[in-house]
Amino acid sequence: AFDDCGTDEAAAYRVMGMLKNDADILLLIKVYGLREFKGCFSGSHYFGSEELSLPGAITYEMSNGEISKLNSILQKAGITYKF
């Protein structure tokens, strides 16, 4: 969902929709680990790169409304974790 410039929000929503409990989200974050993130035209990542965790990539790439939608998907599954 996070690959160079831009974000595939639909893919992020699909993945979050497959999670069933808090252990699933924690495992996803652990498996994601730290990945190279290349910014495009904005913020501290302007044409640079750094390693970000899944929560870091979500916070950087998604708007507040998109993050709210992710959290809503998690909440509907009974997951208490919030981005």
pLDDT in tens, 36-63: 877 665 555 555 678 899 999 899 889 9
Residues forming beta bridges with residue 23, ordered by sequence position: none
Give the C-alpha distances (Å, rounded to integers) separating 25 from 12, 35, 38.
12, 17, 24
Q: Which two tokens stand for residue 7?
A: 């974000």
Closest to 55 (Cα-Cα) out of 30, 38, 20: 30
Q: How many Cβ atoms sit within 10 Å of the Cβ of residue 46?
A: 9
pLDDT in tens, 5-38: 668 899 999 999 999 999 999 999 999 999 887 7
